[in-house]
């Protein structure tokens, strides 16, 4: 019953996406220039498209799962995801639009004139995108396992195929309206069941959700502290601040997000669009906590079976019996699917662009091959990642972005003395330390609490280190004579 | 599908990069008015001040709110409408503050731009 309802809802969303996508492609093709067409889109639609691409499985499934497992502190991730857009408004949206660069490697070439740094940026795009794709594919594998009982790997492989195919159909993703539609699907399909559940469970359960009981090893006192305590190391403030640094500054450097500001006609509009995004994200992030809090009362068994990331999908069926429960489950599963599809296709396209355009200098024909290769590697990486929390892995992707592209963009835009050597050294140091820490954290268990936290979320030290490297190395060299002009050009009204 | 010709879309920087192969420095798009370097430097300095201010405030909001929750555990025990105050800060209070911060930045940045454009052309107030 649940499986049938879920499949029907997911099918309807797919068909609607395709229809809206075809309409959008048609409109773009009949105009002489694609960019002119995109200029007719109002800032509201544009912002909704950005939010649609940004709200991923980490937001729909991961936040609720982590709230159930570790406590309400998980919502600091959401605060950081949103605060990132304040940093984007203040630091990059306007100048990025004026630079005329679509991607971060594009920007590196504009600002530093170095093909080598462009290639380095292309490599880092791959690392960030793969780290970001793995938790999306994990989410897909998990949700499919829940609604239809197929093994985890079937969902992962299917996810790779569906996303590759949706890009191959072409144009679908590029239509702003499809992304905007996906934002609405995610918001409605998460918000409506959440509100219904809050009303349906009654006063007693609601009160119980606010005064949690002990579950497993986790005492209620520890759980109800609204801070993140990574791997239970006992350093909540350090963990929370490191996560906030990673998510806020990482949003600046996410390759697939930066690209979206080009659809605004002017720098002024780009800034305004980013402000609307903050509002849209703020509304969405009110709801995931509901699933985590109610899940603590109604589905505590998920903590024991290490399946907390599934709570958003499991909870409605457990709380509400019969047909209505199935329908609510189908709604949430569809919201999760929309989150997975829109984010993954954006990620995979950015990844393929990095592979084919920045690293191997190929044309559009190679892009298709790159999509296939990118999806294949992401599937391979996702297969053994079933036990990792969605939010933790997404946190790593943000940490790498915050330690590499964030300093490159911020210093490139606001500091005239940045040199090619400085940028390259900073990028290399940031990429190696942040990725290295994440890998170490996944495979080892350090004995010291500090080391545990600083590996599990390395942004607290890798971001300052990357900034410092760029500044110190640049100060020892001389910037190109056109460097100041390149910077001033980014701020000319 | 319609019979109209498809247009290949690349960013201006990508077009320049593809056209020139790999020469040493980029061909910069010309500075629009105000073209004179002094005025452009003044705009840059004003924008940088605004940006620094917003980022500093953002730091205060993020580290301040999480710091307050960490320093005063009593916020968990005081509740409004049955919900602990520290939970309310985290789930509801931060988003409107972030939105206001961004709105304030946009107002300042746009005002600085308007002033400079008007001043540069010599027809400002």
pLDDT, position A421 = 93
Q: How many domains does chain B have?
A: 1
Please give the structure tokens belonging to residue A80.
Answer: 């950081």
* Rounded distance between C-alpha atoms, residue A87 and residue A92, angstroms: 8
DSSP assigned state of A231: G
Q: Are B83 and A210 a contacting pair at CB < 8 A?
A: yes
Extents of the domains making up chain A: 2-387
Q: Which residues 427-466 of A are in CB contact (within 8 Å) with B?
A: none
* Rounded distance between C-alpha atoms, residue A133 and residue A375, angstroms: 9
Q: In this structure, are residues A103 and B12 in contact, taking their beta carbons and an 8 Å threshold?
A: no
- Identify all chain A residues contacting B47, using CB atoms and an 8 Å cutoff: 491
- Identify all chain B residues contacting A289, using CB atoms and an 8 Å cutoff: 91
Q: Which residues 72-101 of A are in CB contact (within 8 Å) with B?
A: 72-73, 75-76, 79-80, 82-83, 85-87, 89-91, 94, 99-101
Closest CA to A289 of A74, A25, A36: A74
Q: ω before A283 within 30° of 0 (cis)?
A: no
* Chain B CA closest to residue A207: B82
pLDDT, position A173 = 45
Which one of B62, B84, B108 would you mutate to disrupt binding with A, by most A Cβ within 10 Å of its Cβ? B62
* Rounded distance between C-alpha atoms, residue B37 and residue B32, angstroms: 11
* Rounded distance between C-alpha atoms, residue A210 and residue A199, angstroms: 15
Q: In this structure, are residues A367 and A134 in contact, taking their beta carbons and an 8 Å threshold?
A: no
* Rounded distance between C-alpha atoms, residue A223 and residue A220, angstroms: 5
- Identify all chain B residues contacting A285, using CB atoms and an 8 Å cutoff: 95
Q: Which residues 222-251 of A are in CB contact (within 8 Å) with B?
A: 224-227, 236-237, 240-241, 244, 248
Is B98 among the domain residues?
yes
Mention the CATH class of domain A2-387. mainly alpha
pLDDT, position B90 = 86
Q: Return the number of other C-beta atoms located less than 10 Å from residue A112's C-beta.
A: 27
Region class of A279: left (phi > 0), else alpha (psi between -120 and 50), else beta = alpha
Domain extent for B117: 32-121
pTM of the shown model: 0.87
pLDDT, position B123 = 38
Please give the structure tokens belonging to residue A414.
Answer: 């606001």
* Rounded distance between C-alpha atoms, residue A353 and residue A102, angstroms: 11
Q: Which residues 264-323 of A are in CB contact (within 8 Å) with B?
A: 268, 271-272, 274-275, 278-279, 281-282, 285-286, 289
Q: Going residue by residue through chain A (493 aa), what tens digit of pLDDT does each one get?
A: 567 777 777 777 777 776 776 665 555 444 333 433 445 567 888 888 888 888 887 788 888 888 888 888 889 999 999 999 999 999 998 888 888 777 888 888 888 888 889 889 989 999 999 999 998 888 888 888 877 778 888 888 988 888 887 776 654 445 677 788 888 888 888 888 889 888 888 887 787 777 765 555 555 666 778 888 877 777 888 999 999 999 999 999 888 777 777 777 788 888 888 999 999 999 999 898 888 888 888 888 888 777 788 888 888 888 888 888 888 888 888 888 888 888 888 888 888 877 877 777 666 667 777 888 888 999 999 888 877 888 888 889 999 999 999 999 999 999 989 999 999 999 999 999 999 999 898 888 888 888 888 888 999 999 999 999 999 999 998 888 888 888 888 887 7
Is B75 among the domain residues?
yes
pLDDT, position A170 = 56
Residue A68, C-beta contacts closer than 8 angstroms, at least 6 positions apart: A291, A292, A295, A296, A299, A302, A303, A308, A311
* Rounded distance between C-alpha atoms, residue A47 and residue A42, angstroms: 9
By Cβ distance, the residue of B4, B28, B73 closest to A489 is B28
DSSP assigned state of A100: T
* Confidence band of B22 (pLDDT split at 50, 70, 90): very low
Mean pLDDT of chain B: 75
* Rounded distance between C-alpha atoms, residue A41 and residue A258, angstroms: 18
């Amino acid at each position: 019953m649940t499986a049938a309802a879920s499949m029907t809802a997911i099918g309807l969303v797919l068909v609607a996406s395709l229809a809206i996508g075809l309409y959008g492609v048609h409109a773009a093709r009949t105009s002489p220039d694609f960019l002119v067409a995109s200029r007719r889109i109002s800032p509201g639609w544009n912002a909704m498209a950005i939010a649609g691409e940004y709200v991923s499985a980490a937001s729909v499934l991961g936040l609720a799962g982590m709230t159930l497992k570790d406590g309400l502190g998980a919502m600091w991730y959401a605060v950081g995801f949103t605060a990132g857009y304040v940093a984007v408004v203040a630091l990059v949206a306007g100048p990025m639009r004026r630079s005329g660069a679509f991607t971060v490697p594009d920007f590196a070439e504009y600002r530093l004139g170095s093909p080598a740094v462009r290639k380095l940026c292309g490599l880092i795009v791959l690392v960030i995108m793969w780290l970001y794709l793995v938790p999306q594919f994990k989410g897909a594998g998990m949700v499919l396992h829940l609604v239809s009982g197929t093994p985890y790997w079937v969902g992962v492989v299917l996810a790779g195929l569906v996303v590759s195919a949706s890009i191959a159909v072409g144009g679908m993703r590029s239509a702003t309206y499809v992304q905007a539609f996906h934002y609405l699907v995610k918001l409605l399909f998460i918000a409506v069941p959440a509100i219904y559940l809050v009303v349906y469970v009654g006063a007693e359960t609601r009160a119980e959700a606010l005064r949690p009981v002990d579950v497993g090893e986790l005492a209620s006192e520890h759980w109800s502290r609204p801070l993140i305590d990574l791997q239970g190391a006992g350093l909540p403030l350090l963990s929370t601040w490191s996560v906030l640094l990673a998510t806020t500054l990482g949003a600046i450097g996410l390759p697939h997000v930066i690209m979206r500001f080009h659809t605004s006609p002017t720098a002024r509009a780009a800034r305004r669009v980013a402000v609307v995004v903050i509002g849209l994200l703020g509304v969405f992030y009110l709801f995931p906590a509901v699933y985590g809090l109610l899940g603590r009362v109604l589905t505590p068994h998920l903590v024991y079976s290490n399946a907390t990331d599934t709570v958003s999908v499991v909870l409605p069926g457990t709380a509400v019996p019969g047909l209505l429960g199935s329908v609510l489950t189908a709604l949430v599963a569809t919201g999760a699917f929309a989150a997975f599809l829109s984010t993954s296709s954006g990620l995979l396209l950015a990844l393929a662009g990095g592979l084919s355009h920045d690293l191997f200098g190929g044309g559009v024909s190679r892009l298709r091959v790159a999509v296939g290769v990118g999806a294949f590697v992401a599937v391979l990486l996702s297969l053994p990642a079933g036990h990792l929390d969605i939010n933790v892995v997404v946190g790593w992707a943000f940490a790498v972005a915050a330690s590499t592209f964030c300093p490159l963009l911020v210093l490139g835009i606001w500091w005239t003395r940045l040199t090619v050597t400085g940028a390259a050294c900073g990028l290399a140091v940031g990429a190696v330390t942040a990725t290295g820490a994440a890998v170490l954290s996944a495979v080892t268990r350090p004995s010291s609490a500090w080391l545990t936290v600083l590996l599990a979320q390395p942004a607290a030290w890798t971001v300052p280190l990357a900034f410092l490297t760029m500044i110190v190395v640049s100060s020892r060299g001389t910037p190109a004579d056109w460097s100041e002009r390149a910077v001033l050009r980014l701020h000319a009204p | 599908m319609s019979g109209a010709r498809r247009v290949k879309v690349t960013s201006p920087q990508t077009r320049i990069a593809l056209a020139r192969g790999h020469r040493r420095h980029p061909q910069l798009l010309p500075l629009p008015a105000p073209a004179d370097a002094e005025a452009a430097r003044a705009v840059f300095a004003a924008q940088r001040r605004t940006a620094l201010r917003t980022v500093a405030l953002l730091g205060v909001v993020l580290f301040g709110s999480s710091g307050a929750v960490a320093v005063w555990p009593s916020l968990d025990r005081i509740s409004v409408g049955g919900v602990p105050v520290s939970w309310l800060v985290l789930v509801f209070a931060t988003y409107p503050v972030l939105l206001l911060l961004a709105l304030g930045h946009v107002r300042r940045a746009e005002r600085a731009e308007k002033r400079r454009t008007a001043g540069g052309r010599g027809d400002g107030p």
